[in-house]
Structure formats: C-alpha cells, structure tokens
Amino acid sequence: MRRIAAGALAVAAVLTPAAARADTPYAQASAMVEADGSVARSEHVTDAWHPRRGTYCVTVDDTVDLTGPIAFHATVAGQYDHPRSLSVELDSSACGYHAERTIAVFSRLAYGSPADAGFYLTVS
C-alpha cells in the first residue's frame, strides 16, 4: 500500500508543471507564455514575443547564467485539436540577429507544420 501511495505521489509530482506557478525553486528562470506570445507569469524573464506562427522568443535577465551547462524544458500548455511538439534553441536567428540571452521556442504539429501553442518554459 505504501509503495502504491508513494508511486502515485511521484507521478503527480512529475505531471504537475511547476512552471505553472512560475516559482520553480531550482530553475534560473521560468515563464508561462500564452499562444499569442504574452507572458502570463514569469521569473527572471524580461521580454517575450511571437514573431510568426509557431515561433516564440523569450529573453531572460542578467541573473540567469547561460555560460555553463544549461537545461531548458518546454511543456505545451492547453488542449489543442492536434498534438504539438516543442523544441528550444538559445540565441536563435529566428528571434533576430542581436537576440542574445533569448530562447527561441518552436511549436510544430506532428507532420512539421508550425502551430501556435501556449507553453511553460524553465531554464535550469
């Protein structure tokens, strides 16, 4: 019984996106970005924009160390008719050539076509 309860708690912890609260204790930055590119909640994020369908740009402040090992995690937020997949790229030209400290998040449908989606982003 204890194993079942412990397993259920572990699964609940994994499935509950901490970035939804934007108070991730071990992340350097976090944000909840809406499908239109607006930021609902964030920590250590200075700007976000949506330059084109399926592309989002999120800029982090100077307190975020982007020089060492970095882990990015992006999770789709919301329900859509077709599943989305997200990929992340640091200092991407998709956000402009002077987009230092900017993280590009790309949202795609299963067959590769760009599609808008809200998402949670954490930088650890």
> What confidence score (pLDDT) does residue 9 get?
38
In this prediction, residue 24 carries a pLDDT of: 59
Give a three-class secondary structure readout of 75-97. EEECCCCCCEEEEEEECCHHHCC
pLDDT tens sequence across 44-56: 999 999 999 999 9
Mean pLDDT of the chain: 85
pLDDT at 76: 97
**Tokens (6 digits) for 66:** 């982007």
- Mean pLDDT, residues 16-41 taken together: 78
pLDDT per position as a tens digit, 91-119: 899 999 888 899 999 999 988 999 999 99
SS3 101: coil
**Is residue 37 over pLDDT 50?**
yes
Contacting residues for 34 by C-beta, under 8 A, at least 6 apart: 40, 118
CA 6 from centre of chain: 28
